[in-house]
Amino acid sequence: MPEVIILGHKNPDSDSVCSAYAYANLKNEIDEEKRYTAGRCGNLNKQTRFIFEKLGLTPPKFISDVYPKVRDVMTHKVVAIDENDTIKGVIKNIEELKIRITPVISGGTKLEGVISILELAKFFTPKDEDGRPVYLFRGSNFEKSIKGYTYMRGENDEFEATFMVGAMPYERFKNRMETLKLKKAILVVGKRRDIIEYAIKNQLPAILLTGIEDDADIDIDFTGYKGWVYISELDTAETLRNLQLSIPAKSFMKTDVPHLTEDDYLDAAGDILMSVDHKGLPVTNEGRLIGIFTRSDIIKKVQKELILMDHNELSQAVDGAETAKISEIIDHHRLGTIKTKTPIHFYAKPVGSTCTLVTQLYKVSGLEPDPKTAAVLLSGILSDTVILKSPTTTKQDIEAVHELSGISGLDFEKYGIEMFSSTDNLKSRTPDDIIGTDFKVFSEYGRTIGIGQVEVVNLEELDGVKDDLLKGLNKVKEDKSLLWSMLLVTDIIREESVLLSSGYVPGEKLLSYKQSGDRRFYLPGVLSRKKQLLPEVLRVLEELSE
C-alpha cells in the first residue's frame, strides 16, 4: 500500500504537529487505497510534548528528510542461502530465479557474505599449481548433491580434504596418496577392496562408493573407521562432479563486500555499488540481512508523496521536499513560492490555526473526530491563537474550539492555561532552544530574514536572559546566512510582546515600535508574528529596497 507522509514545517510548533496528526487520522478513514503517516521534521517543543503526554498519545514520528533511500527501492524478500548449504543450491538459484547475487546467512538472518558469478568462476578455476585444491566439506551435504544415501556417518561432519579417484592399480594409487600435500582425501571408488581397506586403515575422512547394487554388495568391514561412507547411485565421473557441488557456501563466499543500510541515500548507495565488481549489495540492520540493492534499483524513479501542513514554502519544508510529490497543502499562512509539477489539492483560509482547517475538513467528509483527536485539534488551535486572544483568531476558530471542547470534554480556557504553563521559564532554557524552537525564515525583496517566537506567562523573566538571547540571535544570523534575525517574546497573560533584534540598524530605524533598550522594542497588544509583526517587518524591507 503506497505511503503518504503528512508533515508540518521545520521547528514545529503545536499547531504544525497536531494538524498533521489529526489529518492523518482523517485521511486514513476516508481513503483505503493509501496509508497516511503523520510525521514531524524537528524536535517537539515542551508544550507539544505536554499535549501528547497529557492525552496519552504517541506523537508523530521524527522524519529528518524525504530524499529517496535504499529502503524505497531495495528487494525486501531476499533469496538467501545458509552458509552450510551447497554450491549446487547457489547455482540452482541463479539458473531458476535469474538472480545475480546470493547473500549467505547463518542463524536465519545474520549476513556472513555473498556469492555471485564472480565467486563461482574463481571456485571452478583454481590456481593451485598441483591441480588438486583442498576444500571444506560437510558429510551431511553429500545427500543434497549426490543421488544416493549415507551408509555410515562419520565422527566429524565438517572437514578439509582434497579428493581422489580409486581407478588405478593399488600401488600407483598408494604412491599418489603419499605425494599429496594434505594426506586427507575423499575417496571416490568402485568395488576395489584393496583401495577401500587402505582408506579405512589411513582414516580418510570419507569414502564414496559407486557401482553398488545394494547393501549386500558391501562386504567390507568398516569396524574402527571414523569417516563417512556414502553409497552413490551415480557413476564415478558424475559422483566426482557432484561431490564438488556439495561444498558449503561459506568456503568460497566473499566476506568483505560493503554493506548498505536501508537509511542510506539512494545516490550514495548507487556510488558505492558502482565502485565494486558485484551487481548487488546486501542491506543489513545490525548485521541482519533485510534486503538486497542491485544496479537496476539505481535507475528506479522514486518519489515520496507528501502533504504539507501549516506551511507552503520549500524553505520551511522537510529536507528533500523538492524531490517529493506534493499532493496536498493545508495552510493558513500567506502563499509562498512553492511550485508543483502536477495539480494538487490546496486548502487555505485566513484563520488562526491549521487545526481549524482540519476540523472543517472533518465536517466536509461527514465525519466527527474521536474525543482524543478532537483534543489534539483543540490543542493546536489554542496554541496558535493563544487561547483565542491572538488577533489572528477568527469566528471560525472560535466555533471550532467550542465544538472540539464539547467532543473532547475539555474546558478550553483551563486547558489552554495548563498548556502554556507547561513550558519551562526562560532562565531554565538555552538561548538556542528558545530561539530555535519556533524560528521561521522569510525571503522577500531580495533579503532573507528570520523571526522566532516564544510565549511566556511573565515578561519580567526576560531581563535575566536578554544578553544571552541577543548573542544567540547573532549566532543564528551567521549560521543561517540571514540579513536580520529577531525574537518575539510574547506574554500571553498581559497580551504584549518584546522584540529582540540582532542589530540590523537600517531595519531597526524604520520599525514603528518603541525602542525600550539596546536592540529591544516594546510591542503592546502584539501577539501574532504572522499577522502583526511580519507585515511590519515586510514593510520595512520594502522601504529599504526602494
382 in Cβ contact with 16 (< 8 Å):
no
Residue 129: which pLDDT band, with cuts at 50, 70 and 90? low
Long-range contacts (CB closer than 8 Å, 24 or more residues apart) made by 165-171: 165/189, 165/236, 165/240, 166/190, 166/192, 166/195, 166/196, 166/199, 167/236, 170/194, 170/195, 170/198
What pLDDT score was predicted for residue 363? 97
Residue 79 burial by Cβ neighbours in a 10 Å radius (0-12, 13-18, 19+): middle
Using CA atoms, how far apart are residues 377 and 332, in angstroms rounded to an integer? 15
What residue spans define the domains of the chain? Answer: 3-68+303-421, 87-251, 426-545
Three cell numbers, residue 113: 557474505
Q: What is the pLDDT of residues 216-241, one digit of tens each?
A: 778 888 999 999 999 999 999 999 99
At residue 134 the predicted structure's pLDDT band, cuts being 50, 70 and 90, is confident
For the segment 398-417, the average pLDDT, to the nearest whole number, is 97
What's 327-383 look like in SS3?
EEEEECCCCCCCCCCCCCEEEECCCCCHHHHHHHHHHHCCCCCCHHHHHHHHHHHHH
Stretch 298-305: mean pLDDT, rounded?
89
pLDDT at 128 over 80: no
Residue 85 has pLDDT above 90, yes or no: yes
Q: Tell me, what's the pLDDT at 302?
A: 86
Q: Is the pLDDT of residue 159 over 70?
A: yes
| Predicted pLDDT of residue 425 | 79
Confidence of residue 492 (pLDDT cuts 50, 70, 90): confident
Average the pLDDT over 451-473 and give the result.
91
| Residue-level pLDDT at 93 | 86
User: Are 30 and 367 within 8 A, CB to CB?
Assistant: yes
| Residue corresponding to grid cell 554388495 | 217
> CATH number of the domain at 426-545, please?
3.10.310.20
- The confidence band for 379, taking pLDDT boundaries of 50, 70 and 90, is very high
Q: Rounded to an integer, what distance in angstroms lies between the CA atom of residue 319 and that of residue 337?
A: 16
CA distance linking residue 342 with residue 331, whole number of Å: 19
Interval 10-32: pLDDT, tens: 989 999 999 999 999 999 999 99
DSSP secondary-structure letter at 241?
H
Q: Which of 208-217, 403-412, 464-473 has the lowest mean pLDDT?
A: 208-217
User: Over pLDDT 70: what percentage of the chain?
Assistant: 99
- In CATH, which of 3.40.1390.20, 3.40.50.1000, 3.40.50.300, 3.40.605.10 is domain 87-251? 3.40.1390.20
β-pairing, 439-444 vs 81-82, is unpaired
In the prediction, which pLDDT does 337 show?
65
Q: Which pLDDT score is estimated for 416?
A: 94
Q: Could you tell me which residue, 119 or 128, shows the higher pLDDT? A: 119
Angle at CA 94, nearest 5°, toward 90 and 95? 115
For residue 182, pLDDT over 80 is answered with no
Highest-confidence range of 21-30, 189-198, 307-316, by mean pLDDT?
21-30
- What's the average model confidence in pLDDT over 125-140? 78
- In angstroms, how far apart are the furthest CA atoms of the chain? 113
Per-residue confidence band for 273, with pLDDT thresholds at 50, 70 and 90:
very high
Q: For the chain, what is the mean pLDDT?
A: 92
Q: What is the pLDDT of residue 131?
A: 61
Task: Output the CA–CA distances (angstroms, integers) from residue 65 to 40, 68, 182, 438, in the order listed.
Answer: 10, 9, 58, 19
Strongest mean pLDDT among 52-61, 298-307, 487-496, 513-522: 52-61
Q: What's phi and psi for 442, nearest 5 deg? A: -130, 140
List the one residue out of 6, 15, 73, 72 whose CA is nearest residue 41: 6
- Range scoring the smallest mean pLDDT among 158-162, 300-304, 429-433, 535-539: 300-304
Which tens digit of pLDDT belongs to each residue from 89-107?
A: 899 888 888 888 999 999 9
Tell me the pTM.
0.71
**What SS3 state is found at 441?**
strand
- Averaged pLDDT for residues 417-432: 86
Instruction: Please say whether the beta carbons of 17 and 48 come within 8 A.
Output: yes
Under CATH, what is the fold of the domain 3-68+303-421?
A: inorganic pyrophosphatase (n-terminal core) (3.90.1640)
Fold equal for 87-251 and 426-545: no
**DSSP state letters, 475-539:** HHHHHTT-SEEEEEEEETTTTEEEEEE---HHHHHH--SEEEETTEEEEET---IIIIIHHHHHH
